[in-house]
């Protein structure tokens, strides 16, 4: 098309030059004819002059006819060439418009597909964020229960305040719940940021689709036009600065950016699902560990309680036995007080004998031995009674 459009001015300039030559020849022939006529009126011409002037006129007419024929052929050729250039340029413009419409429709379809994917991803991410919110609320209940259990166990008697397996299991459950809350809150924050990026991509994609719809309507209207209008009432637009590859590249970059945001959102959803599964497993394991520890603690406490109760029964029996033995010892002690008083009285009575009769005989020695033995027995019984009282207490 550029070659034809460039050759059209050359053809028109060449035809104009030939037309000027023909006009010059015609003017020269007319001047010759006028001079011949004027010469004829001046006097009588000879026959050969008259014939020569006629032939000159005929030759001039034939020459003018040939020039006119050549000019018509040249004009027809210029007309045919310009018509061909016009038709070819029209076909080229229509093909360019059709190609641009097709390319714009393909890009628009890709943008619409990307927009649909972004909208679907935004819905999925919102659902995932809602599930994370439910998990966040669900974690707080076992956390509060575990903390309350720890507070209740701190009210145990001082003798029972031990760092047993139950307390360790409860502390692990509290730590796991707090760690799960931090992870879920991190997922919720990331989901909020990704939803904002998805909304931004959606707005940009919708704007691009709207602009392409307008461009397609304009190109289709231009393609369907059959008659033009005068340029006098139209305002000439400045030439567009953007090139086709820049136009396509801008849309490609928007699609690529949307794909990156969507891929990040998909990874975040996968991470959220993995975190939720981990939280469920961790919460179940810590709860089961706490329940098992409480069960073992209860069984151990009941066993020790049974042993203590059996020991109490044994001790009570032993106390009863010792009370009986103590009563027997006290009875034996009381039984020896009378003989001791009797033996002492006998010694006192025998001391009243006259001096000659006051001798240390066998009776004296027996009474003294009896008093000594009774006193020693009473002391032993008193010591045994004190020991039994101490054991009973």
Give DSSP secondary structure letters for 203-235.
HHHHHHHHHHHHHHHHHHHHHH--S---TTSSP
Higher pLDDT, 365 or 41: 365
Whether the Cβ atoms of residue 255 and residue 202 lie closer than 8 Å to each other: no
Q: What is the mean pLDDT of residues 181-207?
A: 93
Check whether residue 88 and residue 207 sit in a common domain: yes
Average pLDDT over residues 29-34: 45
Structure tokens at 332: 């034996």
Residue-wise pLDDT for 205-263, tens only, equals: 999 999 889 888 888 888 888 776 655 555 555 555 667 778 788 888 999 999 999 99
Judge residue 305's burial from the number of C-beta atoms within 10 Å of its C-beta, 0-12 exposed, 13-18 middle, 19 or more buried.
exposed
CA–CA dist 212, 209 (Å, integer) = 5
Q: What's the CA gap between 316 and 192, in Å, rounded?
A: 71
| pLDDT (average), residues 314-334 | 81
Mean pLDDT, the chain, rounded, equals 80
Asked whether 6 and 88 are in contact (CB, 8 A), the reply is no
Structure tokens at 26: 């015609």
Which has more confidence, 388 or 182?
182
Which residue in the block uniquely carries the two structure tokens 């006259």? Answer: 354
Instruction: Find, among 189, 195, 186, 190, the residue nearest to 124 by Cα.
Output: 195
Q: Are residues 295 and 335 in the same domain?
A: no
Residues 97, 181 within the same domain = yes
Is 197 part of any domain? yes
Specify whether 297 is located in the same domain as 327. no
Task: Indicate whether 180 and 264 sit together in one domain.
Answer: yes
Decide if 212 contacts 106 (C-beta within 8 A). no
Total domains in the fold of the chain = 2
Residue 336's domain comprises 321-352+361-391
Query: Do 273 and 372 reside in the same domain of the chain?
Result: no
Considering only residues 119 and 344, tell me which one the structure prediction assigns the higher pLDDT.
119
Q: Dmax of the chain from CA atoms? A: 244
pLDDT band, very low/low/confident/very high, at 142 (cuts 50, 70, 90): confident
pLDDT digits (tens, 9 = 90+) for 85-134: 888 888 888 888 888 888 888 888 999 999 999 999 999 999 999 999 99
Query: Does residue 36 form part of some domain?
Result: no
Tell whether 200 and 270 lie within a shared domain: yes
Residues 214 and 348 in one domain: no
**Model confidence at 194: pLDDT above 90:** yes
pLDDT at 339 over 60: yes
At 34 the pLDDT is 45
Query: In this structure, are residues 339 and 374 in contact, taking their beta carbons and an 8 Å threshold?
Result: yes
Question: Which pLDDT belongs to residue 234?
Answer: 52
> pLDDT at residue 22 above 80?
no
Residue 57 domain-assigned? no
* Residue 103 to residue 212: CA distance in whole angstroms: 11
* 52 lies in some domain: no
Average pLDDT rounded to a whole number, residues 352-381: 77
- The tokens for 322 are 């010792």
Q: Verify that 88 and 176 share a domain, yes or no.
A: yes
Question: CATH number of the domain that 181 lies in?
Answer: 1.20.1260
Question: Measured between alpha carbons, how far apart are the two ends of the chain, in Å?
Answer: 127
Instruction: For residue 241, tell me if it sits in a domain.
Output: no
Would you say 72 and 15 are in contact if contact means Cβ atoms under 8 Å apart? no
Residue 315 lies in a domain: no
Q: Is there a single domain that holds both residue 122 and residue 150?
A: yes
Residue bearing tokens 């390319």: 103
User: Please, which pLDDT band fits residue 265 given cuts at 50, 70 and 90?
Assistant: very high
Mean pLDDT of 307-316: 88
What are the tokens at 11?
Answer: 């053809």
Q: What is the mean pLDDT of residues 56-67?
A: 87
d(CA 282, CA 182): 14
Same domain, 201 and 103: yes
| Mean pLDDT for the stretch of residues 172-182 | 90
Provide the pLDDT for residue 124: 94
Return the percentage of the chain with pLDDT > 70, whole number.
Answer: 82
Tokens describing residue 175 = 């730590």
Number of C-alpha atoms within 13 angstroms, CB side, residue 234? 7
Q: Are residues 203 and 347 in the same domain?
A: no
Q: 4 falls in which pLDDT band (50, 70, 90)?
A: very low
Is the pTM higher than 0.75? The answer reads no
- Under DSSP, the state recorded for 377 is H
Phi and psi at 161, nearest 5°, equal -80, 90
Q: How confident is the model at residue 14 (pLDDT cuts 50, 70, 90)?
A: very low
Task: Name which of 212-221, 255-264, 304-313, 324-333 the model is least confident about.
Answer: 324-333
Q: Has residue 43 been placed in a domain?
A: no
Mean pLDDT throughout 176-200? 92
Closest residue by Cα to residue 137 from 180, 193, 190: 180
pLDDT exceeds cutoff 60 at 203: yes
Assigned domain for 70 exists: no
Please name which of 287, 111, 142 lies closest in space to residue 212, comparing C-alpha atoms. Answer: 111
- Please, how many CA atoms are within 13 Å of residue 220, restricted to the half-sphere of its CB? 10
The stretch 334-361 carries a mean pLDDT of 75
Residues sharing a CB contact under 8 Å with residue 122, sequence separation 6 or more, in sequence order: 195, 198, 199, 202, 265
Worst-scoring range by mean pLDDT, 5-9, 97-101, 153-157, 192-196?
Answer: 5-9
């Amino acid at each position: 098309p550029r070659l034809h459009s460039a050759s059209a001015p050359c053809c028109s300039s060449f035809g104009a030059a030939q037309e000027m030559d023909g006009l010059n020849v015609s003017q020269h022939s007319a001047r010759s004819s006028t001079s011949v006529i004027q010469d004829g009126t001046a006097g009588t011409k000879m026959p050969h002059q008259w014939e020569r002037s006629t032939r000159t006129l005929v030759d001039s007419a034939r020459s003018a006819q040939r020039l006119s024929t050549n000019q018509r052929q040249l004009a027809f050729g210029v007309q045919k060439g310009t018509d061909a250039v016009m038709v070819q340029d029209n076909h080229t413009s229509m093909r360019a418009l059709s190609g641009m419409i097709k390319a714009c429709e393909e890009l628009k379809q890709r943008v619409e597909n990307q927009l649909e994917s972004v909208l679907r991803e935004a819905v999925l991410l919102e659902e995932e964020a809602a599930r994370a919110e439910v998990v966040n609320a669900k974690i707080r209940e076992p956390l509060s229960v575990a903390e309350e259990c720890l507070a209740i166990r701190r009210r145990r008697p001082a003798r029972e305040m031990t760092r047993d397996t139950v307390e360790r299991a409860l502390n692990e459950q509290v730590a796991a719940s707090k760690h799960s809350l931090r992870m879920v809150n991190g997922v919720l924050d990331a989901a909020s940021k990704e939803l904002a990026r998805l909304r931004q991509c959606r707005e940009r994609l919708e704007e691009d689709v709207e602009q392409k719809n307008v461009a397609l309507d304009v190109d289709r209207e231009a393609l369907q036009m059959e008659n033009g209008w005068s340029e006098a009432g139209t305002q000439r637009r400045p030439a567009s600065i953007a090139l086709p590859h820049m136009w396509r590249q801008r849309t490609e970059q928007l699609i690529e950016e949307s794909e990156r945001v969507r891929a990040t959102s998909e990874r975040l959803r996968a991470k959220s699902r993995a975190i939720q599964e981990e939280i469920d497993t961790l919460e179940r394991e810590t709860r089961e560990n706490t329940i098992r520890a409480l069960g073992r603690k209860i069984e151990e406490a009941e066993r020790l309680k049974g042993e203590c109760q059996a020991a109490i029964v044994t001790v009570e029996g032993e106390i009863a036995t010792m009370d009986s033995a103590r009563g027997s010892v006290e009875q034996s002690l009381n039984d020896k007080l009378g003989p001791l008083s009797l033996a002492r009285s006998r010694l006192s009575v025998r001391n009243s004998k006259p001096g000659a009769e006051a001798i240390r005989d066998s009776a004296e020695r027996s009474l003294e031995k009896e008093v000594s033995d009774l006193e020693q027995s009473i002391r032993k019984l008193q010591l045994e009674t004190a020991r039994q009282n101490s054991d009973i207490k």
